[in-house]
Structure 1
């Protein structure tokens, strides 16, 4: 089963919650404890997610008495693939696809080596075609766009 980590799921939830107060330099900041309360995610986990998202440039921290975190850009400009890569690392179905050579015993004689690349690329493209805004709620979700992305995955 192909499954994203809980931390990636939490990152999408945190980003969606931050979007409720606006994005960019004029957006209202939210604190980790406030986000934890609003999302139901434990505060240490929210803090960890914010740190990861900050390192990826998806959120920015604001220092001071009224400090906290805010989005660096609107959610429609944040592809899901970028969040996944920030939290879980590169999108790769196998070690061969992510360029990690030498991790497979059968690498030298593998009959399907390199054949996963088109599958991986289709999944990556589909995830790049879905933004966090598409997942954030019905007011943001262009159903045709999300359906088209799922169809491209199913076609593989």
Structure 2
């Protein structure tokens, strides 16, 4: 499975927006500049993310964008679903278009698989993505010998 570029860019955009928590608001143009993404792409993402209730847009001289809820309460699953719709590895679950549906033994198992995938993405909060990942622990020669 591979996320679309738009879903990937949405995670990048939201991670950057989360870095502005407490600093007031940020514009779509600023997010584009900071992430290196094209302004029209960020504007399209902002529209989708705002419609999904993940970003809030405030108008006026002191306006801009801000997270609609705390970064710890927004997950990667929320962001991906805002752009892609429900997380599903196969189209047959949502759309029922399958040439092999009559004899399919997998159809009852796909919801379990999809729920596991969504659960894994839901376990990663935007707060975790906002900060650089912790450095991997280096092991000394003495620790390896022990």
Same-fold status (TM-score > 0.5): yes
Larger Rg: 2
Q: Secondary structure at the match of 1:96?
A: helix
What's the C-alpha RMSD, in Å, of the aligned pairs? 1.8
Structure 1: runs of 5 or more not aligned: 144-156
Aligned 1:57-136 pairs, distance under 5 A: 57-98=53-94, 100-101=95-96, 103-136=97-130
Task: After TM superposition, give the deviation of residue 10 of structure 1 in Å.
Answer: 1.3
| TM-score after normalising by structure 1 | 0.78
Question: Distance between the aligned counterparts of 2:40 and 2:21, measured in 1?
Answer: 23
Q: 2:13·2:31 contact (CA, 8 Å) conserved in 1?
A: yes
Larger RCO, structures 1/2 (Cα 8 Å, 6+ apart): 2
What number of residue pairs does the alignment pair up?
Answer: 135
1:56 equivalent to 2:52? Answer yes
Of 22, 37, 41, the residue aligned with 1:41 is 37
Question: Distance between the aligned counterparts of 1:54 and 1:7, measured in 2?
Answer: 15
Q: 2:50·2:56 contact (CA, 8 Å) conserved in 1?
A: yes
Question: Distance between the aligned counterparts of 2:13 and 2:106, measured in 1?
Answer: 39
Q: 1:96·1:114 contact (CA, 8 Å) conserved in 2?
A: no
Question: Distance between the aligned counterparts of 2:18 and 2:77, measured in 1?
Answer: 18
Q: Secondary structure at the match of 2:65?
A: strand
Cα 1:105–1:138 change in 2 (3 A) is same
| TM-score after normalising by structure 2 | 0.83
